[in-house]
Chains A and B, each alone.
Chain A
Amino acid sequence: QKEVEQNSGPLSVPEGAIASLNCTYSDRVSQSFFWYRQYSGKSPELIMSIYSNGDKEDGRFTAQLNKASQYVSLLIRDSQPSDSATYLCAVRGSGGGSNYKLTFGKGTLLTVNP
């Protein structure tokens, strides 16, 4: 089982719709969770971080975390063509103060159609 799994997509939604991106992880005691957006040919850009169960909202973005199900998701409301990108889920695992690395999924390609 891969450490962090995402559907590779592509996920295609119409402009103005809600895009739902999902991620599962294998390390049950993972601590912190991040969503990065990566435009083609560019570097990843942090858009959301979450570390407690529940929802966290920032503008049009909502991150949801369920540690019992080892599941984290990202909702994008009122999707815009400029949201078209690859979305990377990243997890900081267990290991307390000695584990600093982020483990990434392969990413989900989102296309928002005008």
Chain B
Amino acid sequence: DAGVTQSPTHLIKTRGQQVTLRCSPKSGHDTVSWYQQALGQGPQFIFQYYEEEERQRGNFPDRFSGHQFPNYSSELNVNALLLGDSALYLCASSLTGGIVNYGYTFGSGTRLTVV
């Protein structure tokens, strides 16, 4: 049973560039959330996608955008990269009806470094 898969594993970008991160949810899951985890901090909620729509958004600027495809996979796009965007980006999937009891399953993350 494949878990949550993310690509790429590591990425180095220059300030001002744009980046796209990808996520395939765990088999059977229909909801994808994206989190940003800076060094020494807990994950911060960026947004969640369900039925190909952004269902909820955290306190992140419009430079952060996303998409969910019919097969439930998702992309996170970040435009005009800043040095402060350097972090571990985590994708988390769940079955909508199971969030209350089962939380989220996280992928291994994408380490983004902005130089």
Contacts and interface: CB of A to CB of B under 8 A. Distances in A.
Interface of A: 4, 31-32, 34, 36, 42-46, 49, 51, 88, 90, 92, 98-107
Interface residues of B, number: 26
Given A100-B56, A101-B56, A49 B102 contact: yes
A36 B104 CA distance: 10
Which residue of A31, A43, A45, A98 has the most chain B CB atoms within 10 A of its CB atom? A43
B42 interface: yes
Given A101-B48, A101-B56, A44 B100 contact: no
Nearest to B6: A43
25 contacts: A31-B100, A32-B103, A34-B103, A43-B90, A43-B106, A46-B102, A46-B104, A49-B102, A51-B100, A51-B101, A88-B42, A90-B42, A100-B33, A100-B48, A100-B55, A100-B96, A100-B99, A101-B45, A101-B56, A102-B43, A102-B103, A103-B45, A104-B42, A106-B42, A107-B42
A48 B88 CA distance: 23
Contacts of A92: 99-100, 103
A101 B33 CA distance: 8
A53 to B, nearest CB: 16
Contacts of B55: 100
Chain B at the A interface: SS class: mixed
Which residue of B43, B45, B56, B106 has the most chain A CB atoms within 10 A of its CB atom? B43
A43 B109 CA distance: 6
B40 interface: yes
A105 B37 CA distance: 11
The 10 closest A-B pairs by CB, nearest first: A104-B42, A101-B45, A43-B106, A34-B103, A106-B42, A43-B109, A104-B43, A44-B106, A43-B108, A32-B100
Given A101-B33, A104-B44, 17 more contacts: A32-B99, A32-B101, A36-B103, A43-B109, A44-B43, A46-B105, A88-B42, A88-B43, A92-B103, A98-B56, A100-B31, A100-B33, A102-B103, A102-B104, A105-B42, A106-B40, A107-B41
